[in-house]
Amino acid sequence: MSQSPRIAVCPGSYDPITNGHLDVITRASAIFDEVVVAIVDASVRKKTPLFSVEERMELIATATAHLGNVRPQPFSTLVVHFAREVGARTIVKGLRVISDFEYELEMNQLNRQEAPDVDTLYLMASPKYSFLSSSGVKELARFGGNIEEYVPAAVAPLLQERLRR
């Protein structure tokens, strides 16, 4: 008897992808047969993205190329509906701080009401990335800080160039 592949969705804006995101995606790829990095184009919590969906997909594909079971894909529906569309029964999210937990608890309750068949798995941020956010990286880059240790190699020069405009 053939078992269905275990598919997970890692949703986010990824504007841009950071090493913290990459850590969660890498850890999820060790647990699941396939990980879909779901890129939301217009988040209700965030400003207009700095990078287009296509650019974010390319940066994620480059950063995860060493992981054979990860693929980026944009979405513009409820994440639980997207999870069902791609055959995933699990959403994987990283948690850094208490405020992440408070927000994610609320979202989890809403998602469970909408799709009780889709679970959410929370991975605690690795200590070295517990402070890291895309918005923090953008602010550091905007004011000339060194961001190379916080983002995949392809991201740093592109982000610095974009912010110079």
To the nearest 10 degrees (0 to 180), the angle between helices 155-164 and 53-63 is: 150
Q: Which of 45, 47, 66, 165 is catalytic?
A: 47
Q: Which of 21, 29, 56, 93 is catalytic?
A: 21
Q: What is d(CA 70, CA 62) in angstroms, rounded to the nearest whole number? A: 11
Per the annotation, the verdict on 46 as an active-site residue is: no
Q: What is d(CA 37, CA 162) in angstroms, rounded to the nearest whole number? A: 23
Q: How does DSSP classify residue 116?
A: T
Q: Which of 27, 71, 84, 96 is catalytic?
A: 96
Per the annotation, the verdict on 84 as an active-site residue is: no
Q: How does DSSP classify residue 143?
A: T
Per the annotation, the verdict on 47 as an active-site residue is: yes
Q: What is d(CA 128, CA 60) in angstroms, rounded to the nearest whole number? A: 20
Residues forming the active site: 21, 47, 96, 134
